[in-house]
Amino acid sequence: MCPRADGAGDALRFSGATALDILGRVATVTDPAVTPLRRFLGWDAAAAALLLGATVLALLWANSPLGDTYDDFWHTELALRIGGDELALDLQHWVNDGLMVFFFFVIGLELRRELEMGGLTDAERARVPLVASVAGLAVPALVFLALNPTGEAARAWGVVISTDTAFLLGVLAVAGPRFSAPVRLFLLTMAVADDVGALTIIALFYTEDLRLLPLALALLGLFVIVKLRRLEVWRGPAYLVVAVGVWLATYESGVHPTIAGVVIALLMPVHAPRRDQVEEAERLTRRFRQSPTPESAHAAREGVVRAVSVNERLQRLYEPWTTYVIIPVFALANAGVHLTGSTLDAALSSRLTWGIIAGLVLGKLVGITVATVLTVRLRLATLPPGLPLNQVVGGAALSGIGFTISLFIVDLALDDPALQDQARVGVLTASVLAAVLGWAIFRGAAALGREPAGPPTRLALPVDPVRDHIRGSVDAPLTLVEYGDFECPFCSRATGSIEEVRDYFGDRLRYVFRHLPLEDVHPHASTAAEASEAAAAQGKFWEMHDHLFRNQDDLELRDLLRHAWTLGLDVSTFAEDLVGGRWAKRVHQDLIDAEASGAAGTPTFFVGEERHTGSYDAATLIRALEASGGR
């Protein structure tokens, strides 16, 4: 069996093959100089650990004998002067108004990509987490306002609306259930919608002293970005120059400049690689292989870069910096509350502090849980496969960790330093309580036997004759489902076993093939899976299925096009489907269902709806099917 090398979290980011995949991803992932770092940076707990470390460092610094230097340092003024114009901010505001723009920019990029190519394109799967997200925004705000209905403190209702995704996923990785892929995908979808709501609220309710001329200039800059996109400008620096101007104009308009980051990101081009661009990149790469000169190297690099959308390139560039540098620096600049006796006494007796704690800890838990239960009970949608309600409750509790955006809104909503300290104490306390509560719910479910002792053993998504690829009669009493990978050598051998099994049972067996492309192990697997679906669109799935397994060493793009021609397919339509990523979503859904069903490698078989363990030679599978009795 080929084991999975990636984490379950990569499922949400899975997409169609890009030019980078086609033109040499193997060399990148196996580079010994970068693999250990990437493995570290790819771990959710690592991001949370850095954020926690920065928070603890800020608290220790602010409450040490050198505590006065904390405020002195972050209130040091840094000015940029060009001629007679000057932009002067203290270091804390350079972080909050400047560096955090990149954080919100990455959020916008991810949102746009998810809407165009990711999990939010599937309305059925996203419906429950989206409804839960709306409740997770509204209920905490109502709980907070019930305790703080009037006065300056009431302006801080936005502090309780958002969830810190980095902390949430980090704590889930450490304290959540052992087999957490479904709940992680659920929480990630909810977090994207949560961020959208939080950013909308910041734009609508925390903008003061609006100045129309700078705002008009910012809108003009956004119009220029739209024109650049329509002209198919693909170089990042062209967008960067305009984006800096938009940020400056937005700052001068009175609208918080981080909003500019989100709006600009939503305008960035995002698309699956286009056939002509991929072919051109391949031609330039082949020329470099034949003539490795600096000129051909530059042309090849430009060709490959152009084939990948601006959105995806910028997200890959900035996401590590925002996650592992900017957010920890933000925590260092904002979490340094002076925990003196008077500060703690004021916080403990403050309705503001308790409103934040109640809103984040109780409001998130109740809002998300109740919304999920009602949505399912009213049959408006169903929970994703393999996601029990107790894990939703645990995730809802962890959603009360509202660290980053909560601290960000504290600075926007409150002007009184004393109230700011009370609010920050509330945010820090609520984040700790939410983490402990989530851990307790997950551990309680495990103690009561409601957490599986191992990975799921049942097929999460029942066989659907309309959707699934089936060999044999759709009404056959025996069912054998395989999750496979066209580049997996064990799947190729299993294919021979399947033929023996099918010959033995004849019309009594229906055989179903689903995709589980192990991208980190088999770099061509996802492209091959999409090729089989492109062939299925022309009525030749099984012909392509058999042909790919017979030609496992020939899965490059040009090989797949040759296979399509050999099978008599319309090669032009096949190429458009494949390069355009038309079937990426279909393969992605199989990947999610495989994880929810406990498939940890390829091939994984299900006899009826029960996962088969052990050997998968023909004799063993025949015995397992006979023992199933047609279940």
Give the CA dihedral 30, 34, 40, 43, nearest 10 degrees: -60
Supply the pLDDT for residue 486: 93
Supply the pLDDT for residue 168: 84
* pLDDT tier at 349, thresholds 50, 70, 90: very high
pLDDT of 14 higher than 50 = no
pLDDT of 32 higher than 60 = no
pLDDT tens digits, one per residue of 578-609? 887 788 888 988 887 888 788 878 889 999 88
- Nearest CA-CA partner of 63 in 332, 338, 334, 331: 338
Supply the pLDDT for residue 125: 67
pLDDT top residue among 355 and 313: 355
pLDDT of 41 higher than 60 = no
pLDDT top residue among 580 and 471: 471
For the chain, the average pLDDT equals 83
Supply the pLDDT for residue 80: 83
- Nearest CA-CA partner of 442 in 475, 264, 434: 434
Domain ranges of the chain: 43-207+256-273+308-447, 276-307, 469-628
Q: Phi and psi (nearest 5°) for 79?
A: -120, 140
Supply the pLDDT for residue 363: 95
Nearest-angstrom CA–CA distance, 566 and 103: 49
The per-residue DSSP string of 491-537 comes to HHHHHHHHHHHHHHHGGGEEEEEEE---TTT-TTHHHHHHHHHHHHT
pLDDT top residue among 487 and 203: 487
Query: Over pLDDT 90: what percentage of the chain?
Result: 33
pLDDT of 35 higher than 60 = no
Supply the pLDDT for residue 43: 54
* pLDDT tier at 146, thresholds 50, 70, 90: very high
Rank 12-21, 324-333, 356-365, 404-413 by mean pLDDT and report only the highest. 356-365
Instruction: Please return the burial class of 177, using the count of CB atoms within 10 Å of its CB with bins 0-12, 13-18 and 19+.
Output: buried
* pLDDT tier at 560, thresholds 50, 70, 90: very high
Nearest-angstrom CA–CA distance, 194 and 134: 7
Supply the pLDDT for residue 450: 62
Supply the pLDDT for residue 25: 32
Average of pLDDT values for 185-192? 80
pLDDT of 255 higher than 90 = no
- Cβ pair 567, 152 in contact under 8 A: no
Same fold for the domain at 43-207+256-273+308-447 and the one at 469-628?
Answer: no
pLDDT of 169 higher than 60 = yes
Q: Give the containing element (helix H, strand E) for 240.
A: helix 236-253
Nearest-angstrom CA–CA distance, 251 and 89: 12
* pLDDT tier at 106, thresholds 50, 70, 90: confident
Average of pLDDT values for 45-66? 87
pTM of full prediction above 0.85: no
Supply the pLDDT for residue 11: 35
> Which range has the worst mean pLDDT, 265-269, 465-469, 561-565?
265-269
> Which range has the worst mean pLDDT, 184-193, 222-231, 596-605?
184-193
Average of pLDDT values for 168-192? 77
Supply the pLDDT for residue 237: 79
* pLDDT tier at 24, thresholds 50, 70, 90: very low
pLDDT top residue among 165 and 61: 61
Supply the pLDDT for residue 372: 93
Homologous superfamily (CATH) of 43-207+256-273+308-447 is Na+/H+ antiporter like domain (1.20.1530.10)
pLDDT of 454 higher than 80 = no
- Cβ pair 606, 486 in contact under 8 A: no
pLDDT of 543 higher than 60 = yes
Nearest-angstrom CA–CA distance, 542 and 600: 24
Whether the upstream peptide bond of residue 489 has omega within 30° of 0, thus cis, is: no
* pLDDT tier at 453, thresholds 50, 70, 90: low
* pLDDT tier at 26, thresholds 50, 70, 90: very low
Average of pLDDT values for 155-180? 82
Q: Quick one: how many helices (H) and strands (E) in the chain?
A: 30, 9
* pLDDT tier at 120, thresholds 50, 70, 90: low
> Which range has the worst mean pLDDT, 377-381, 514-518, 606-610?
377-381
Average of pLDDT values for 457-471? 88
Average of pLDDT values for 539-554? 93
pLDDT of 215 higher than 80 = yes
Supply the pLDDT for residue 178: 66
Rank 111-115, 189-193, 527-531 by mean pLDDT and report only the highest. 527-531
Average of pLDDT values for 334-351? 89
Supply the pLDDT for residue 531: 94
The per-residue DSSP string of 19-44 comes to HHHHTTHHHHHT-TTTHHHHHHHT-H
* pLDDT tier at 31, thresholds 50, 70, 90: very low
Nearest-angstrom CA–CA distance, 603 and 487: 11
pLDDT top residue among 417 and 275: 417
Supply the pLDDT for residue 469: 95
Average of pLDDT values for 84-109? 85
Supply the pLDDT for residue 196: 77
* pLDDT tier at 179, thresholds 50, 70, 90: low
Nearest-angstrom CA–CA distance, 43 and 511: 37
Homologous superfamily (CATH) of 469-628 is Glutaredoxin (3.40.30.10)
Supply the pLDDT for residue 40: 36
